[in-house]
Amino acid sequence: MTLTSLPRECIKDIFEAIYDDYKALYSCLLVNRLFCKIIVPILWRNTWYFGYNEHIINSLSRTYFSCLSDESKEIIKNHNIDISPPTQQSPLFNYTEYCQYIFFQQIRCMSRNFNRSHTELLQEEFIKLFLTKCTKIVHLDFFYYPRGIENISLNSSLSHLCELHCDTITSSEIFFELSKTCHKIQRLYISTCDDDIEGLATLIKVQHGLQFIYLRSDDSQGVSHERIGEALTIQANTLIHVRFSGQICIPYNSFYSFINLERLELELFEEIDARISDAAYFPKLKVLEIKYNKLTPFDIYTNLIGKTEGTLVRIYWNYINTPPTTLSLRIYIQTIINNCPNLEFVTIWYQDSIIDDLKQLLKSSLKLKGLKIVFYCTSDIDKLFNLLADMAPLSLTILCFDDINYYHKSLLSIKNLDKLLEMWIDRPPLLLYIWSQLRHNLDLLKIMNNYLFDDVLNDFDHLYSLDNVEEVRKSWEIEIPYGCI
């Protein structure tokens, strides 16, 4: 049986399965009329996936221009703006109706591409086109205030909206307008949350299944947004992923209500109040990620971990103050041992005095897949490497060593890394990442390449953040379904 002989529904399912392989889809586009009708809506669902180079922007602009209403074309023509469509004939498809991902910044680029002196006029006409002619918008991104949007009557296409990117610079009235139609938003990104605007709070309140919220606030005054906090409290039953950047810009009593939270990410430039670990309770928390938080006392996070209910899978720090004392580090490790039976990835600060605690952790963490170790004081690193080779569970296949130490000589050396990998030969292949003064050493690269060739290593690199490793991200990703996209 050939692909062309399959039922239409089966052919559509096949092409949907490779929706992100644009080259393969395009190669099938001209096979026959049926393939064309199925593939065109998939290709034009998110045209910005093609990229943003000049050729692509130029081509998209002219194609979308051909989809504009006669009224809009006349307005553009009256301003002496020349946009030649790709053909003088009417387009074979109404490409706009297939678009589900709308990015105002890219629309602005598209408008500027033709006439910089009339960018705002072109932008307004293109925005009008998308917001009135698209039949099902699932992703809308306007992180800056777009001229003319307040004059557009938003149609039912936005009733399908699942993901919104915005900021509090936008008029409150726009959010009030969105709240009349958009009730299914699952992911909300507020890239600048420096104002407690009522319209945005109203939009949050009327959602029926908000699962993710990103709040970024750089307001140095540390103001808490009461309205937005209250709105998020209403959504507490469905919120499972929260990310704060800059500062926690909602009242703490709102933060405490997120009892169904599964993932918490913090990238903060202010000290967290001790109340966060005294009163907050996250019994379902799976992931705790500290991207940056230099000011918050280490013990606050230890207390927070201790108040979870055995669900934590990943505890990852990109950067944070080192533990103030050996005792605080030992309490941190023991808290993990006692409260995290399902642990798959953890960040540890190492010194010789915690070797027995680390041994207990390796014995108790039977599901451990990854370990990030930060060296922050002089230690016997060979002792640590012997422990890892002897006692780490076979599931451990990700090691990250952070050895950028400004007060002591580097602990990592070609010799001890070579010795570790020699001991690792009979274990599953390792993903090894280091951040060290060795990162420019050519002799180390030669040795690592040999281990890569011998399948002792699956990968080796010099990296500060494991967020940059796609394979690692996939291995530790916690499934948080969003449903309708």
Residue 368 counted as domain residue: yes
Q: pLDDT, tens digit, for every residue of 235-284?
A: 999 999 999 999 889 998 888 899 999 999 999 888 887 777 777 889 99
Predicted local distance difference test score (pLDDT) of residue 221 = 66
**Mean pLDDT of the region 157-172:** 89
In this prediction, what percent of the chain has a pLDDT beyond 90? 42
Q: pLDDT, tens digit, for every residue of 298-320?
A: 888 999 999 899 999 999 998 77
Cα angle value 250/317/483 (rounded, 5°): 60
**Mean pLDDT of the region 165-185:** 90
Q: How many domains does the structure of the chain reveal?
A: 2
Long-range interactions of 455-460: CB distance < 8 A, separation 24+: 455/429, 456/421, 456/424, 456/425, 456/429, 456/430, 457/421, 457/429, 457/430, 457/431, 457/432, 458/397, 458/429, 458/430, 458/431, 459/431, 459/432, 459/433, 460/432, 460/433
Query: What's the whole-model pTM score?
Result: 0.87
482: CATH: 3.80.10.10
Residue 283 counted as domain residue: no
Least Cα distance to 39 among 58, 66, 12 occurs for 12
Residue 383 counted as domain residue: yes
Q: Is the pLDDT of residue 359 over 60?
A: yes
Predicted local distance difference test score (pLDDT) of residue 483 = 44
Q: Is the pLDDT of residue 328 over 60?
A: yes
Mean pLDDT of the chain: 85
Residues in CB range of 232: below 8 A, 6 or more apart: 204, 213, 239, 250, 254, 257, 258
Residues in CB range of 124: below 8 A, 6 or more apart: 146, 147, 148, 151
Q: Is the pLDDT of residue 433 over 80?
A: yes
Residue 170 counted as domain residue: no
The domain of 343 spans 302-485
171 compared with 264, residue with greater pLDDT: 264
**Mean pLDDT of the region 125-137:** 85
Residue 168 counted as domain residue: no
75 compared with 198, residue with greater pLDDT: 198
Q: Is the pLDDT of residue 32 over 90?
A: no
Residue 230 counted as domain residue: no
Q: pLDDT, tens digit, for every residue of 107-121?
A: 877 777 666 666 778
Predicted local distance difference test score (pLDDT) of residue 287 = 94
Token readout for 465 is 């953040």
